[in-house]
Homo-oligomer: A and B are copies of this chain.
């Protein structure tokens, strides 16, 4: 039904649809505007007079006049009594239009260490909670939300964190935010504003910690980890004013921060009025019964605890929570309020419903079993197909640190695996000290047991290829 009237003036292509709901003058207006924006009508170009264009298009002159004056009011055209209509001098065309693709890399077999089982997310149960939230929410629940997070969710989370993580959780000290990332980014920038210039990080440690700290304009002080977690002796010599730790399950080495180190870390914080930032990303997934409560419970005044739904439910939900020392909570909530006016409200109410119904506990119990089996499948596949590697992490979480034989070319292996459709991460990505041994951080959360076996088979092939090349 679209009638192209062909080029009318220089580069002017106008399409009219006579039976459309949109009035003709608006169609002319839209066409001319698009011609200008696409660069087909350059700045300064003279347009046909309204009389000429109307006769060309077979429409009344008033329609063209109306379109021209709207475009003049918007600044696209210059219309002056007696002078020809021209494209305004200030108009700039925009670039060509590439397609709207996702910028995330995608692999048929993805051993991403941060991914839970996406297919295992209980969509129907979640949808039930969402429906309940929409049906029960008071009218103003769709207005601007409480910047700290919806009160009902903070209450439910405080109860959950106290019960499951042994945290000293006050609903008033909880801040709901866009995943772990936003809470940590706000914290880093708050520290930077107060003159802090250095934050201690585990080495190796989760690479995005570093990106966020550096984007906040802070320096990173890497501190080595061993089988007992962060080496506190090394921490003491850093002059850092804050430290980020993963005490329940070190990323990527898998250590649990020992009792002595927990005490020493808290002492370090108490003495210098320093801050401990606890990243509690996957503590609920332990398969050996060696789980420890959150560090935050020991020193709620010195620890900013951050957790999220990303590994517990799904990262696409972008829900995180920070349990903050009272002296810090208000500043951070205020910063969040200014920065994004609070997080989406109905998803928070749905999570509240989901926790209250016991669905979160049920889901984590079910997934714990599933991940345990996937982990066993990974260890088995590694033992059979890559016997030259060694696995060092404890029985927990969604990933394993796999040590490669000394001298292996980790980067070449990652590339060769990618060429086979297998996404793996090298340990180097998460390392500050460049002299460490090569390794891989393999996530098993989002792959079925057969896919894990197939994937490790392809990694073995890739390693063989890399070794053949270097001989």
Residues of A bordering B, CB below 8 Å:
30, 33-34, 37, 70, 72-76, 88-95, 97-104, 106, 114-115, 118-119, 121, 123, 126-127, 130-131, 134-135, 139-148, 150-152, 154-155, 158, 162-163, 166, 168, 170-172, 174, 177-179, 181-182, 185, 208, 211-212, 215, 259, 262-263, 266-267, 270, 292-293, 295, 297-302, 314-319, 326, 333, 335, 338-347, 446
Contact = CB atoms under 8 A, between A and B. Distances in A.
Given A151-B100, A293-B33, A179 B341 contact: yes
Contacts of A72: 259
Q: Which of A106, A119, A315 has the most CB of B within 10 A?
A: A315
A344 B317 contact: yes
8 contacts: A70-B292, A75-B262, A92-B298, A100-B155, A123-B134, A142-B317, A212-B339, A315-B341
A185 B339 contact: yes
Given A90-B298, A90-B299, A139-B118, A73 B259 contact: yes
Copies in the complex: 2
Contacts of A298: 74-76, 88, 90-92
Nearest to A114: B144
Contact of A182 (B37, B326, B340): B340
The 10 closest A-B pairs by CB, nearest first: A100-B171, A75-B262, A142-B316, A94-B300, A178-B340, A102-B146, A316-B345, A94-B168, A142-B314, A37-B168
A258 B333 CA distance: 39
A98 B144 contact: no
A471 to B, nearest CB: 38
Contact of A74 (B89, B148, B166, B270): B166
